[in-house]
């Protein structure tokens, strides 16, 4: 068993790698070569990557793909997607092409409110606390002027602060619940700085004016932003759904709607259903340097807002019109963070025609809706495995180190045969005989 190490963070990158190789690897030279092969040959660029996080030893690459032909509010986009899963980019592209001549995607930002909270414990009388808060509220906002002046100049800042009584849920627990407008910034650092100043001022004045004991527990933004909403939708006459793989559009529309209805009421299905939506959303969020973990957490919380986890997407068929849509919370930024640092993030932003935060919300929501449309369309027609496994074929071939000649023969073979892992293995073994 390896011994613990002290001072690991103070070692150089080379020293860190050597310690890891000596401690955990039997094939040390193979591991060393792998780590070094993923370094960027441009030393300045590698240094930039090294400083994004702590204890960096190498780079971990994900493919950056592009899904073209997205018509969003009558503007054409090619959407960048960073993801490792086969068939995601292909499915998004196929959905984009399907809707291109059926009116395209419509998207609108409904609201952009973001949230932060100061959590505190107070053992005194609530009415006294409430009176104190109403007195001190203007001072809380004034105390943040140095932090908010630049944001206010651009039209953002603190929207409001509320005192919330949560003592029925947890003894003596209360919140300062603050709302913010952060414009094109995701705003995490801005919000947290404001919250910490609120806490400092609130605590200081409480000592002077309140009888009870007040203790600040923590001050932190929330990644649940139910009032930072974007809506994306597609619609067309049911008969216009007819295509090569939808010979009977009325039947398709009904089965599609039934599949959505099932995801609305069955949580086991809804989780997988929404995971497919996040395939599209996360890929664009990651490509544009935003926080996909925050987005995931907020979106899944929103899917449970009724008290039961449910589908994020919805479908109706009224008067011969098929409509498919969703509303989701997305807190995104196009300035700050990695957006001005990571070269491929800058590339992705330029590819998207340098969007504002609201524009990016629309693009990301549309990518999620497109992904879900493609998945449900496959499920209710050919089945999910036909397309997915054909896209997965190359991964299996690479796993078995197939040569280019073998790949060409097997790709041709599986144009008319079902792709499964075992069938690919059998075909490779047959060729190699």
Annotated catalytic residue 291: yes
Catalytic residue among 18, 85, 108, 250: 85
Annotated catalytic residue 85: yes
Annotated catalytic residue 245: no
Contact 343, 259 (CB under 8 A): no
Q: Map residue 217 onto helix, strand or coil.
A: strand
Contact 409, 431 (CB under 8 A): yes
CA distance 81 to 99: 19
Catalytic residue among 94, 114, 342, 388: 388
CA 66 vs CA 76, 80, 197, 233, 347: distances in Å: 13, 5, 43, 21, 12
Catalytic residue among 137, 275, 323, 390: 275
The count of other CB atoms within 10 Å of the CB of residue 360 is 24
CA distance 249 to 387: 20
Contact 365, 326 (CB under 8 A): yes
CA distance 406 to 416: 17
Q: Is 322 left (phi over 0), alpha (psi -120 to 50) or beta?
A: beta
Reported in sequence order, the residue ranges of 157-244 that DSSP labels E, i.e. its strands, are 157-165, 173-181, 214-222, 229-237
Annotated catalytic residue 215: no
For the chain, what is the radius of gyration of the CA atoms? 26
CA distance 364 to 82: 12
CA 352 vs CA 74, 331, 357: distances in Å: 14, 18, 12
Catalytic residue among 181, 184, 233, 291: 291
Catalytically annotated residues:
85, 275, 291, 388
């Amino acid at each position: 068993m390896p011994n613990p190490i002290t001072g690991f963070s103070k070692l150089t990158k080379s020293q860190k790698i050597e310690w890891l190789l000596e401690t955990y690897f039997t094939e040390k030279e193979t591991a060393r070569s792998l780590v070094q092969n993923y370094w960027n040959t441009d030393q300045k660029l590698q240094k930039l990557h090294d400083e994004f996080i702590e204890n960096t030893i190498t780079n971990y690459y994900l493919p950056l793909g592009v899904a073209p032909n997205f018509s969003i509010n009558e503007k054409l986009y090619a959407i960048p997607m960073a993801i490792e899963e086969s068939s995601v980019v292909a499915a998004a592209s196929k959905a984009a092409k399907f809707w291109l001549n059926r009116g395209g995607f419509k998207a609108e930002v409904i609201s952009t409110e973001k949230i932060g909270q100061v959590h505190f414990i107070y053992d005194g009388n609530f009415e006294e606390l409430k009176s104190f808060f109403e007195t001190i509220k203007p001072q809380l906002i004034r105390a943040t002027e140095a932090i908010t002046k630049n944001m206010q100049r651009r039209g953002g800042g603190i929207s409001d602060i509320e005192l919330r009584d949560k003592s029925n849920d947890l003894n003596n627990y209360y919140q300062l619940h603050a709302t913010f407008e952060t414009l094109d910034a995701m705003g995490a650092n801005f919000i947290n700085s404001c919250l910490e100043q609120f806490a400092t001022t609130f605590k200081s004045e409480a000592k002077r004016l309140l009888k009870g004991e007040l203790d600040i527990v923590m001050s932190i933004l929330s990644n649940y932003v139910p009032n930072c909403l974007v809506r994306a939708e597609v619609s067309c006459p049911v008969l216009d759904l007819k295509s090569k793989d939808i010979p009977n559009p009325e039947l398709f529309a009904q089965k599609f709607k039934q599949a959505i209805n099932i995801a609305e009421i069955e949580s086991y299905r809804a989780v997988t259903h929404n995971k497919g939506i996040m395939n599209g959303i996360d890929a664009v969020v990651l490509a544009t340097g935003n926080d996909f973990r925050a987005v995931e957490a907020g979106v899944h919380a929103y899917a449970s807002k009724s008290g039961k986890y449910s589908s994020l997407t919805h479908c109706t068929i009224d008067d011969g019109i098929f409509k498919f849509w969703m509303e989701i919370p997305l807190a995104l930024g196009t300035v700050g963070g990695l957006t001005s640092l990571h070269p491929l993030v800058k590339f992705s932003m330029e590819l998207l025609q340098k969007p504002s935060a609201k524009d990016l919300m629309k693009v990301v929501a549309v990518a999620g809706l497109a992904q879900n449309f493609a998945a449900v369309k496959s499920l209710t027609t050919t089945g999910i495995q036909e397309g997915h496994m054909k896209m997965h074929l190359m991964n299996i071939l690479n796993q078995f180190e197939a040569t280019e000649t073998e790949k060409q023969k097997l790709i041709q073979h599986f144009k008319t045969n079902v792709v499964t892992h075992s069938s690919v293995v059998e075909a490779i073994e047959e060729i190699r005989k």
